[in-house]
Structures are given as C-alpha cells and as structure tokens.
Amino acid sequence: MCGIVGYVGKEKAQDFLISGLKRLEYRGYDSAGIVTLGEDGKDTLVRAKGKIVNLEDKLKHNKTADRVGIGHTRWATHGEPSEKNAHPHRAGDLFLVHNGIIENYKELKKELSDHKFESETDSEVLAALINSFYEDGKYPLVNAVVQALKLVKGTYGIAVVSKKNPNEVVVARSGSPLVIGVGHDETLIASDASALLGHTKQAIYLNDGEVATVTANSVDIKTLNAEPVSAKVEKIETNLAAIQKGGYEHFLLKEIMEQPDSLTETLRGRVNLEEGIVHLGGPGIPEAELRKIKHLVIVGCGTAYHAGLLASYYIEKFTPGITIETVIASEYRYRQAYVPEDSVALIVSQSGETADTLACLREIKKRGVRTVGIVNAIGSTIAREVDGGTYVHVGPEISVASTKAFTSQVIAMVMFGLTIAQAKGVKHSILKPYVTEIARLPEEIGKTLKESEKAVKDIVKKYADYEHGIYLGRDTAYPTAMEGALKLKEIAYVDANAYAFGELKHGPLALIDDRFFEFALLNKGELYDKAVSNVQEVLARGGHIIAVTNVEKFDLAVESVIKISSDIELFMPLLMNLVSQLFAYYMTIAKGYDVDQPRNLAKSVTVE
Ligand code: G6P
C-alpha cells in the first residue's frame, strides 16, 4: 500500500526519492510523485499516474540538484488514481505526503474554506489543515503539524516540507509505519526500511503518537504532547541481496523457490530432533501457564488467515482440551466475541503492519488476553506491540502474493502448538512424528518444487484460458485449497473458490461445466476414499479435474494429474500448496499479467 520516502542531506534528493520509491513499488500503488525544494525558494513538484517509469519520464525535464524532498506512491482510497490525486499535496508553502486515512476529513474540510482544493483526497485536507496553523505564523513547522494532528481522527504516516525552511522534513505517525535512516550528513525517511538499504543500516522506528523534525544531521523526536523522546537507533538486519531478484524473472518465483531456505531459517535453533521436541523462546510464556491454556484465537488477513486455519487443524489433532478459533481480523475487530479465560491470541502477519490485524491485537490486549505474534517483518508495529512472539524469519517477501511466509507461518504456529502440548504432557509418541516431519520439510519442499515445476508448466497450457476454478480438499487439505484459490485469484485473476469436498453436494456441484476446472488435493489418509467418491461425482458431471496427489497408484480417470513422490504424510498439504503456488505463477505468465504487482492489490494493507 502507499509508500513514503524523504531526504535531507548533501546529495541530490531526487536520486534517493526515485530509488526509494522503486523499492516500495512491491507494496502496490497506482500513482506516484515527488517534490524537492531549492534554497532559492523554488519547488519542483512532479506527479504521474501509473508506474514510477511514468514519473521518471516526466522528471527528465525537471531535474534539480535540490537537497531536500519527499515522495510517495499512492494506492487510491479517496478519489481515483490520477495525477491530481497523487501526492505530494501542496498547501501554501508546504507539501505533504500521507499514508493512512483521515476519517474526519469531511468535517475538517468544511472549516478550510480558504484553501482551494485540487484533489478529492483526504490527504490534501490534512495538508491544508497544517497550513492553516502554519500561516498563522506559528513557526516552526513542527508546531503546525502537531496542532493539526491533534484534530485528526484516523491513521497516518506523514512527511511534510516547507519552502520557508528547505533544510528540514517533519514526520509523524499514528498507525502507519515510518522509519528514519541515519546516514553521514544525510537523513532519509521511508515507510519501509527496505527503501533505506544501500544508504544506511542505522534506523529509528517512529512510534505512534510521535513527531520528528529531521535535518541532515539531527533527529528531534517529541510526542504530540511535546514530551521529548530519546531516539533509539536500531540496525536494519535485511541486506540488499534479499530484496533483489537473484536471477529470477519475478520475485514471486524467487520466493516460491527459496522456501527450503526460508523454512530452514524458521526452524533454526527451534527443533531438537534427537529429543523430538521443539523449543520456542519468543512467546515467553512460563511452562505453568502454557499448561493452563484452553483456548487459542488465531487472527490474520488473507494468506495469514489461511495459515492460521491450517495450523488450527494440526494443533487440535495433538493438543487435547484445547479449542481454537481462527478469525478474519477485519471481522473480529468489530465482533463482540467472548474470549474465555486462559486464552492466548496468535496474531499472524507477514508485514506486521496490517491495519485490521493491528486493530484486533489492540482490542484483544485491552481484554487482558495474552498475545503472541507470528510475524515476519522485524521491528514492525505488531511485532513490537505483542506480549511475545515468534518471528518466522523468511526474509523480505516482495511479491504481493504471499508464498514463503505462508509455509513458515503454518510451521511456526504448529511449533507453538507443540510447545503447549509438550507442557501439557502430551505423549511423546504423539508429538514426535510432527517434529520429525517438520525437520525434514525443507529438503522435501526442495524436492517437490523441482519435481512439480515441469509438470505444472505442462498442464498450464491446457488451462490458461479458463476463468473459473474450484479448489477442493478435505481436512488439512481444505485450508490449503483455500490458499491455492486465493493465489490464483490474486495474480491470475481467475475466479477461483475453495470448498471442502464434503460441501460439494450442498451447492458448488451445480457449477460444474466446461467453463470450470477443479483443482483437487487428494492426499493419502483416512479421508482419502471419501474424497475419491467426491471426485467421482464431479467426473460423472463432466468436470475438468486437475488432481494433485501423493497416491502412487492413482488410477482415477481425471483430466490432469500432478504427482508428489515425497513420503511426507502429516504435512503433505504444505507440499501440495507448492504445486498451487507454481500453478498460479505459470497461469499468470500464460495470461500475461503482472506477477509481482497484481492490479488493485497491495502487499501491506495499512488502511482499514
Ligand atoms: C495483503 C497481501 C496478502 C496478505 C495480507 C495479510 O492482502 O496482499 O498477501 O496475506 O495482506 O498481510 P500480512 O502482512 O498481515 O500477513
């Protein structure tokens, strides 16, 4: 979703602003813009609809050597994607870029009749509001920003510059991330630390309710109530290689293929194969309290929600006396759900910034429930606000569609479940097979990816023109089917839905015709025969079935088969999901769509 960059220092600001915005492209956007300010009081504002290359084209005629500026990639919320709605927004002598949503912008706008609004955005209202205080002569700029923010309801990460003082940038945050990069005689600003790499590894993460005045050599942070905050400089752990394509054509394929390594990172130091136990330090829950846990609430959005759902199927298999509710964050935050005593909430998020998930976390904490994060982005808001947590450590995930994070989120949650089961004294013989398979998974994932890529490429030719698909599975293969369908929807724009096999007769069977294909996950196990009966029902109605299976002697007369030869049993659905990921990828290539930045979507959804 929207991205912010800013620069003040000794170099040409435009260079960093453009390279920084390019790093944030993966988050999803539909227009972009930058402004730089010269010592002579001149501003250079350039904005363009569409991709950053359009902005670069325009910049060819607007090059400056200005040493301060701000930039933005916009993901439309209020007003269509267009040049006039793109940020930065101007009000008087100042310019503003904004991530988030100003909820009371209509009321505020009524009071700002002096300003001639040029856009339909809520963000321009904030620019005008700041300017209304600034024009009163209440210099410095930060004072005007603070006065305006005190009137604002909603979420924001902002950066503001003024022609009156082209040596500083004022930034503030509430609910939308902002990082300040500390360099040599230069200070950089970004909504995501990855934009800073190559310039500095020293970062200050702003907290909600803080505002900072940034110059080339100083960072002065205060709360909105004018209390001084001492800046904590942290090291950015990611490196440049991790955010580059590494020889792959798309980030998505790179991220699918690196799962053997990313899962290895998730497991590092956490699995004791000899004893058949797992050890997670992060949640920090004493053993006596682990023993008392009776209920888990798992909260997430999109892929993170599916990961939670799949993990719940596993955890309830080996942890007696525990109930698990996996919920969609955007719903749960407004439900009046009863959370029983001795509950723990798992907050699942790759980015650690998803607005609805964060809101749930805060709501749940208010009720006194212990929260545990299952997060990837280190230092993200969710990671900082949970009571304890387990980082999945898959490295940056750049492609909008989440792949490697899913696999590791599932396993991290299963390991948390195992930690509870170990504390509750569940028999070793029940838990050990899970631990053994978890340890084997990275290698088996590697083999399965190798084995299935060609098979997937071959069958995609047959299905590239389809616009409808149904994903089917039972038990642990059902949430896996949901995730497979989501991948195909997100990037190949195929109207794909998922059903539990048992639900077929209750509606979806009516859909079966030549416009649909059925992606059937058929893993060995006690429910295999029942799933086969369901497949027969589809076949009898002329279905176009793609079966993904680990059954050696698979003899159903389906249209296409992709075999998985691994002897993994419990986590077979995770291997099947690799096939779904590859299928979505190659379908998207065949259809000619943008793999890494699908239309209308954002990597990190920081607005409600
Ligand atoms: C967006 C992304 C999805 C992701 C979801 C939750 O919709 O496009 O890939 O699953 O947000 O994101 P999170 O960062 O909280 O896991």
Q: What is the pLDDT of residue 138?
A: 63
Q: Is the pLDDT of residue 1 over 80?
A: no
Taking alpha carbons only, the member of 175, 121, 174 closest to residue 150 is 174
Residue 392 CA, ligand 1 centroid: distance in Å: 15
Catalytic positions, please? 2, 603
* Res. 2 pLDDT band, cuts 50 70 90: confident
The pLDDT of residue 245: 86
Model pLDDT for residues 379-409, shown as the tens digit of each residue = 899 999 999 999 999 999 999 999 999 999 9
Ligand 1 mean position to 566 CA, how many Å?
29
Which of 136-140, 186-190, 597-601 bottoms out in mean pLDDT, i.e. has the lowest? Answer: 136-140
Indicate whether 25 pLDDT > 90. Answer: no
330-353: per-residue pLDDT in tens?
999 999 888 988 999 999 999 999
What tokens does 122 get?
Answer: 């809520």
State the closest ligand 1 atom to the C-alpha of 406, by its place in the atom list counted from 1.
10
pLDDT of residue 187: 98
DSSP symbols for 90-107: EETTEEEEEEEEETTHHH
Q: Point out the ligand 1 atom lying closest to the alpha carbon of residue 357.
A: 15
Pocket of ligand 1 (CB under 6 A): 301-304, 349-351, 354, 357, 400-402, 601, 603-605
Rounded to the nearest angstrom, the distance between the alpha carbon of 586 and the centre of ligand 1 is 21
pTM above 0.95, yes or no: no
Res 225: pLDDT: 95
Asked: is 251-591 a CATH 3.40.50.10490 domain? The reply is yes
Start-end ranges of CATH 3.40.50.10490 in the chain?
251-591
pLDDT at 575 over 70: yes
Tell me the DSSP string of 26-64.
Answer: GG--SEEEEEEE-TTS-EEEEEEESSHHHHHHHHTT---
| Rounded Cα distance, 31 and 47, in Å | 8
Q: Residue 119: enclosing H or E segment and its boundaries?
A: none
Mean pLDDT taken over the chain: 95
Structurally, at CATH architecture level, domain 3-236 sits in 4-Layer Sandwich (3.60)
- Nearest-CA residue for ligand 1 atom 5 is 302
Residue range(s) of every CATH 3.60.20.10 domain in the chain: 3-236
Strand 154-162's sheet: what is its strand order? 89-91, 94-102, 154-162, 169-174, 210-214, 219-223, 228-229
Least confident of 127-141, 215-229, 282-296: 127-141
Q: pLDDT band for position 136 (50/70/90)? A: low
306 alpha carbon to ligand 1 midpoint, in Å?
11
Q: Are 268 and 391 in contact (CB under 8 A)?
A: no
Q: Examine the pLDDT at 423 and tell me if it is beyond 90.
A: yes
Supply the pLDDT for residue 137. Answer: 67
Q: Which among 489, 603, 607 is the best mutation to test ligand 1's pocket, defined by most ligand atoms within 8 Å of the CB?
A: 603
